[in-house]
A and B are shown apart, each in its own frame.
Chain A
Amino acid sequence: TQLLEQSPQFLSIQEGENLTVYCNSSSVFSSLQWYRQEPGEGPVLLVTVVTGGEVKKLKRLTFQFGDARKDSSLHITAAQPGDTGLYLCAGAKGGADGLTFGKGTHLIIQP
């Protein structure tokens, strides 16, 4: 059972466009992380959201945690080729358990 659904799975847009990636679940998480992964490398943490309704900004990236802490979104403004990569959302529950990952969104920004 896939507890975290990411959409879209693939997205290819032109440089300068805006985009939104979604991460949805029927489960409640204590926190949710977004990672970006380059081919052949480990995921790199972008942000952690903890509070329902929380919004965090990282330059042109805006992350939002749903009020019920079941879903999240990543919005990129004026996308650049350097934003290309695999974006993964991961939910955390209490305790030492591992993270639950979505399948990821493959993003390609064409110059």
Chain B
Amino acid sequence: SQTIHQWPATLVQPVGSPLSLECTVEGTSNPNLYWYRQAAGRGLQLLFYSVGIGQISSEVPQNLSASRPQDRQFILSSKKLLLSDSGFYLCAWRQLGARNIQYFGAGTRLSVL
């Protein structure tokens, strides 16, 4: 069966520090991968998605970037965090060729202080 892992679960970072959040998927090949951010108790906003290694589509211009160095690995990064980057970050995957049904990781709670 397929599983998705995100880490770390929680992160507290000072303003101006770098960021690296990692997401990996097991049990599937060539998935579509997604990064979302969720404001407190609210719906999800799509940040980036990837249909393959090295292929990144950005939905919202911001202080963040994404990379996909391996087929089942998706990384969310920032060179200098802002206070407004605080939030709950969720990674999701979708089986290639299947309907757009996405499965989510457990999320990373990022607090920028």
A and B held together in a complex: yes
**Interface contact tally, CB-CB below 8 A:** 73
Given A48-B99, A103-B43, does the pair A97, B104 have CB atoms closer than 8 Å?
A: no
The smallest C-beta distance from A81 to any residue of chain B, in angstroms, reads 19
Q: How many residues of B contact A (CB 8 A)?
A: 26
The smallest C-beta distance from B96 to any residue of chain A, in angstroms, reads 9
Could you tell me if B106 and A99 are in contact, using CB atoms closer than 8 angstroms?
no
The smallest C-beta distance from A30 to any residue of chain B, in angstroms, reads 7
Could you tell me if B101 and A88 are in contact, using CB atoms closer than 8 angstroms?
no
- Which chain B positions have C-beta within 8 A of A48? 99, 101
What residue of chain A has the Cβ atom nearest to residue B46's Cβ? A98
A99 in complex: contacting residue of B41, B51, B102, CB < 8 Å: B102
The smallest C-beta distance from A69 to any residue of chain B, in angstroms, reads 13
- Which chain A positions have C-beta within 8 A of B41? 86, 104, 106
Residues of A60-107 whose CB lies within 8 A of B: 86, 88, 90, 92-104, 106
Tell whether B113 is near chain A: CB-to-CB under 8 Å.
no
Could you tell me if B59 and A42 are in contact, using CB atoms closer than 8 angstroms?
no
- Which chain A positions have C-beta within 8 A of B44? 43, 88, 90, 99, 101
Q: Can you add 20 more A-B contacts, CB < 8 Å, to A48-B101, A96-B32, A99-B46?
A: A4-B43, A31-B101, A35-B104, A41-B106, A41-B107, A42-B90, A42-B92, A45-B102, A48-B99, A50-B99, A90-B102, A92-B100, A95-B100, A97-B100, A98-B46, A98-B59, A99-B100, A101-B36, A102-B43, A104-B43
